[in-house]
Amino acid sequence: MIALFILHIPLMNYLIAIDFLKVSDPILGQLIDQIGACQLNQQELEGDLFFCLCRSILHQQLSTKVAKVIHERFLRLYPHTQFPSAQDVLDTPDEVLRSVGISRPKISYLKDLARHAIEGLPTLEELEVLDDEAIIKILTRVKGVGRWTVQMLLIFRLKRWDVLPVDDLGIRAGIRKLYNLEALPDRKTTECFGQKWKPYCSIAAWYLWRSLEPLPQLV
């Protein structure tokens, strides 16, 4: 399976991936040249599966800036540990979680995730031998953990390099901007763009996200 052969891509294969994207999609290639080296391999979620999913839940439907602030406040509730455990979260009163800016629906998601973790979620090591769709099927059984949430785990923690989050607003906005579309592309259109990027959709996604930030000027 494609997802299994690029869990941790060697540097040479990484460069091959960039060259492939430039050839298969020259417009994306121009963006790659403007942004420079992809830093996706330097962006890795830390902690166990529970902690990674907590972070992804907190980031749902928020800007990166706002989500980062709330996540930092969340971590400060547990000064005794770098990564709060499932039991730590279950023992935290809802109103304390609300006080750091976490919405009530997300609190219920965090608590349900904590209960699943205590009852027995798979470990990251156990997930590594499964393909992407199998991982999505397992983890989306948890309340509040949807396909997008698992895809963030696949990209940033499990280092799967052929993941395209077609429902991600940033991805769709990046496509609209890069290809001068009149409106945001729908799921089907986004998937069509993704066909040109396989098996390196995760790298293409990183460049699309990065394109929405201030870009360096070419000399």
Contacts of 78 (CB under 8 A, 6+ apart): 84, 88
168 is a catalytic site residue: yes
Of 120, 121, 51, the closest CA to residue 89 belongs to: 51
Choosing from 25, 131, 168, 186, which is the catalytic residue?
A: 168
Catalytic residues: 168
